[in-house]
Structure 1
Amino acid sequence: MTKSSNKSEAEIVPLYRTKESLSSNWRTVDPTTATYAHLRHAYGFLNLVLFAGQLPSSLITFQRKAGSMGYFCHKKFTSYDGVIITDEIALNPLHFALGDKETLSTLAHEMVHLWQHHFGNVTATLHNEQWAAKMLSIGLIPSHTGKVGGRQTGQRVSHYIDPGGKFDQAADELIAKGFVVAYVEQLTPKQKALKFKKNASKTRFSCCCGQRIWGKPETAANCDRCKTPFV
């Protein structure tokens, strides 16, 4: 980890986590710059440390998709002139309050999807065995429950962090250098109560092109329009 950190890295934008410090410095902090500078830096660092720097750049967006901490969409955006095409990694800000390391783990989870689209084999099962093996190799353990013993493959699979593993060490190094989730969404008491509520018998699946279907949690289906799995 130390060797890789000697390479050129983006500067971390200083942030102020308390209301007291923010009140005296708010004029010097631009929320958009602070938010995306940290995520851009994190993507570059995790790419270097966990993926040997082989991943192409991706557009990072914020999307409030119910029941999801994030998602990946291949070749979702293009430049106005059509010359540049880029993938999308979407992060759900509703879950940023879980902490800096959890947010970084979601980013790394979606980076594995990006890796598979560019260097692996994508199948109708979104989280297949190849994806699970890559997750394990970077120190994230796939689990459909997000806990020990959960199923490692399927349409809806989360993860938990391998203590002391590659990701855990990389995240600790990033956080020690100043990475923070810049802004956490303020929720009403009602939103907090409903935040993680799911209907187990009827789940909505979406494609990054906007199409939606409803089905059981174990449903596996591809979008006819863009040939990518519903998630």
Structure 2
Amino acid sequence: MTAVTAEQYAALQRAFDHFNATLFSGTLPQVLITFQRSKRFKGYFSPERFESLAASGERRHEIALNPDVFDRNQAEILSTLVHEMVHVWQEEFGKRSRGGYHNMEWAAKMKAVGLHPSDTGAPGGKETGQRMTHIIVTDGPFDREAAKLLADGIAIAWKSDIRKAGAAKKDKVAYTCGCGTKVWGKPGLRVICGDCAELLASVAAQQGDGVELVQPRGAG
């Protein structure tokens, strides 16, 4: 019987390493890839989300992918992984905007790797903004490298059976500020920090492909 955990994660690790080498010159740190179901995103990036239990306390970024949307073609699934890898690149080498806004630096790097940013997922959409997805550029760097991987037999073989998921619960979510202030409330609130006068970000929706808000660095 196939060890499905090893099969699924090995494919994603292989894809991450391939795109890191070919699209980012091997500069990205290793991350922890997780699966997170949601009706709001295809994937997200959360900086330094995991901490080692060893004495070193080493921290790693998280890239989460939503298996509910793995019924797309393989190149589209891989494009979500690379979308989140651009967030990793910006965290390490650029300057992301406060509150998860997708700025021009992020958009330029997306285009450099062959993913054209679009808030609608269609040509002509805005290239920067809070909620962003992308279009695969035909014969662009990502398109060519994904084709090599797929021709070599890589496959994301398992997806969620959304018929088993049931209705999504409207649970409370956490709202956090960069100063450490944290409150809980219903989804969709606009909460202002009394100390910083800044809009708190929802932890339930981090940077990613679909819904875009940043979890503050080091939040637990």
The verdict on a shared fold, with TM-score over 0.5 as the criterion, is yes
CA contact (8 A) 2:11 2:155 kept: yes
Partner residue, 2:22: 49
Q: Residues 69 and 57 from structure 1, CA distance in 2 versus in 1: closer, same or farther, beyond 3 angstroms?
A: same
Rounded Cα–Cα distance in structure 1 between residues aligned with 2:184 and 2:102 = 20
1:98/1:211 Cα in 2 relative to 1: closer, same or farther (>3 Å)?
farther
2: CA distance, partners of 1:190 / 1:77: 26
Structural RMSD (CA): 3.0
Q: 1:85 aligns with which of 59, 70, 95?
A: 59
What do residues 77-118 of structure 1 show as CA deviations (whole Å, max 9, x unaligned)?
011135211000000000110121111000000000000000
Contact 2:175 2:200 in 1 (8 A): no
Is 2:77 aligned against 1:103? Answer: yes
Of 70, 76, 89, which residue of structure 2 is paired with 1:115?
89
CA distance in 1, matches of 2:134, 2:184: 26
Task: State how 1:50-65 maps to structure 2 within 5 Å.
Answer: 50-65=23-38
Gaps of 5+ in 2: 177-181, 191-197, 208-212, 215-220
Task: Please give the TM-score of this superposition, normalised by the length of structure 1.
Answer: 0.73
Question: After superposition, where does 1:60-75 map in structure 2 within 5 Å?
Answer: 60-75=33-48
Aligned to 1:138: 113
Contact 2:174 2:183 in 1 (8 A): no
CA contact (8 A) 1:205 1:215 kept: no
- 1:70-219 alignment to 2 at 5 Å? 70-81=43-54, 83=56, 84-124=58-98, 125-188=100-163, 213-214=187-188
Aligned pair count reads 188
Q: Kindly provide the CA deviation profile for residues 157-181 of structure 1, in whole angstroms up to 9, marking residues without a partner as x.
A: 0001000000000100000011111
Q: Distance in 2 between matches of 1:183 and 1:57?
A: 23
Are 1:142 and 1:151, in contact at CA under 8 Å, matched by a contact in 2?
yes
Which protein has the bigger helix share? Answer: 1
User: Which secondary structure state, in structure 1, belongs to the residue aligned with residue 44 of structure 2?
Assistant: strand
Q: Encode CA deviations 1:21-70: one digit per residue, 9 max, x unaligned.
A: xxxxxx2x100000000000000000000000000000000001222000
Q: Which has the higher contact order (CA 8 A, sep 6+)?
A: 2
Q: Separation in 1 of the partners of 2:108 and 2:156? A: 28
Give 1:30's aligned amino acid.
Answer: A
Q: Give the Cα separation in 1 of the matches to 2:143 and 2:202.
A: 38
> Structure 2 CA distance, aligned partners of 1:67 and 1:140?
20
What is the alpha-carbon distance in structure 1 between the residues aligned to residue 14 and residue 127 of structure 2? Answer: 29
Q: Normalising by the residue count of structure 2, what TM-score does the alignment of the two structures yield?
A: 0.76
Please give the secondary structure, in 1, of the residue aligned with 2:18: helix
8 A Cα contact 1:141 1:162, kept in partner: yes
Unaligned stretches of 5+ residues in structure 1: 1-26, 196-203
Paired amino acid for 2:60: T
